[in-house]
Amino acid sequence: QKIKQIIYDLKLENSVKLAGYVIRDEKLQLLESAKIFVLPSYSDVHPASITEAVMMGIPILATKNCDYPEIEEYDVGIIGEPNVDFIYEGLQKMLTNEKQLNLFSNNTKRLIKEKFNIPIEKLEHMFIYAIKNKARK
């Protein structure tokens, strides 16, 4: 309620959405409309939500507790301490520098290609291997 009141007081109702738990189509719609993806976590380790955002070409602002080194390695966003100052400064940097934001977004393509794109032949080989080994047992 406190955060909702701050959003209202700052007249940000049209710019900020507190989504809560979302799945499937609603998640895709939110990601498609996002300019950046922010995950201020204290404990997530390599969260799937960051991967989903990257797959959509969205720049990332995350705390280092997320343990997602590809953010810096591929320059797709900013990583920092899990505190209000970092989140505020990160949002300021990202939202006031369209050129940097576009660079982060463009870099997601290389990250996807090099880390998350599994060729169909490799998938086929994995399934055949698994089926053969299951048949032997």
- Which is nearest to 94 in space by CA: 44, 127, 58? 58
The 10s digit of each residue's pLDDT in 81-127 is 999 999 999 999 999 999 999 999 999 999 998 988 877 777 788 88
Q: Provide the CB-side half-sphere exposure for 30 (13 A, CA).
A: 17
Q: Which residues contact 54 (CB under 8 A, 6 or more apart)?
A: 60, 70, 76, 108, 111, 112, 116
How far apart CA 37 and CA 94 sit, in angstroms, is 11
pLDDT tens per residue across span 32-58 = 889 999 999 888 888 999 999 999 999
Helix (H) or strand (E) holding 1: none
